[in-house]
Amino acid sequence: MTGVDTAEDTNQQTPGEPATSPTEHPAIQIGDQGIPDELKPHGSLESDKLESSVRQTPPPHPASHQPRATPKRGGIKIASFILNCLGFVVLCIYTLYTRAQWLQIRYTNTLTARALDGSDKTLQRTLDKMQGQIDATNRLYTEAQKLTAQALVMATNSGVQSSASKRASRAAESAANTAVETLHVTERAYIAIDEPTIDVQQKVVTLPIFNVGHIASGEVQVVVHQAITNVTNPPSVSLPNAIVIWQKHHFDSAIPGKHLSILVPFATMRPEILNNGHQAIYVAGTVAANDGFPDTPPQTGTFCFMTKFIPILGHVELSPCDAASLLPLMEAIDGYPNNEMKQ
């Protein structure tokens, strides 16, 4: 290796490495020129440092080692769990409220059926029981109003309390509606036909009409079917051979404590044969009346009375009979609703 070769090797540019100017290492270039090969030092320290500095690899770009961000999903799962729990609680409360309302309506309907199907004394006892129920309902309604007011105050604090107060308000409104329905049943007008009387001298039967409710009724309409027949062998009676007619009677209202009367004349009544059981009288019909509350359908009922010969007493009396079987037969004979007898 000569001094000229060494200088050329040192100045050569390696591909991908920065070029080295002759002025960067003046001592090496000058020192190598004119020195014989046998006197040149091999593997000198300066030459090794230069060679190693030229061949160093540049460090990697720092952006390539940045860690990636990992998304956090824990908060979404917690929020979803809370919403599911709230939905379950609301469903349970609504189910309990619906069942309570159904039970209250069912109980009220049961009391109403008992009141309508009973006799006067049974009806009065039932009404007394129902009055106690409505008093209790009124107290519950008062307490419900207090709870509703408290719930409305609490509703201003948060959205959850607001929802609870709305449910309490609906419950109070439902209780109020139930109280109104119970009041309707206990206070409305009830029209009944009392036991009639017979006047053999005047040849007339009197039907007394009573309002056993607590308020005046609305319009009252009574349809009376009457029949009279001769009896060959008392007490057997043959209604198809009777003279049967019908007539309609109308009243504007029936006031509690004051009775109305309907006179049913029997022109062919004969006291001498009526009192020994050889003549029979039938009076049956229907009653339709408004119960005193607006926008309610008419309340309807039936009645039936017939004379019965009492051998021990030697005369006849008017006694109740089965309207369900006798009334349709009388309607078929007198041609109801046609052929009404005019006064």
* pLDDT tens digits for range 267-280: 999 999 998 888 99
Which of 187, 204, 239 is at the close of a domain? 187
Looking at the fold, whether 138 and 4 belong to one and the same domain comes out as no
> What's the rounded Cα separation, in Å, for the pair 166 and 160?
10
Q: Is residue 67 part of a domain?
A: no
Is the pLDDT at 247 greater than 70? The verdict is yes
Looking at the fold, whether 146 and 253 belong to one and the same domain comes out as no
Looking at the fold, whether 169 and 235 belong to one and the same domain comes out as no
pLDDT value for 280? 92
Looking at the fold, whether 181 and 210 belong to one and the same domain comes out as no
Q: Is residue 340 part of a domain?
A: no
Q: Is residue 75 part of a domain?
A: no
Q: Is residue 297 part of a domain?
A: yes
Residue-wise pLDDT for 215-236, tens only, equals 999 999 999 999 999 887 766 6
> What's the whole-model pTM score?
0.49
Can you tell me the mean pLDDT for 239-256? 91
Looking at the fold, whether 253 and 289 belong to one and the same domain comes out as yes
Number of domains present in the structure of the chain: 3
Domain that holds residue 40: 1-11+20-45
Looking at the fold, whether 307 and 205 belong to one and the same domain comes out as yes
Looking at the fold, whether 206 and 327 belong to one and the same domain comes out as yes
Listing DSSP states for 170-230 in one string gives HHHHHHHHHHHHHHHHHHS--EEE---EEETTTTEEEEEEEE-SSS--S-EEEEEEEEEEE
In terms of pLDDT, which residue wins out, 156 or 184? 184
Q: Is residue 103 part of a domain?
A: yes
Looking at the fold, whether 326 and 200 belong to one and the same domain comes out as yes
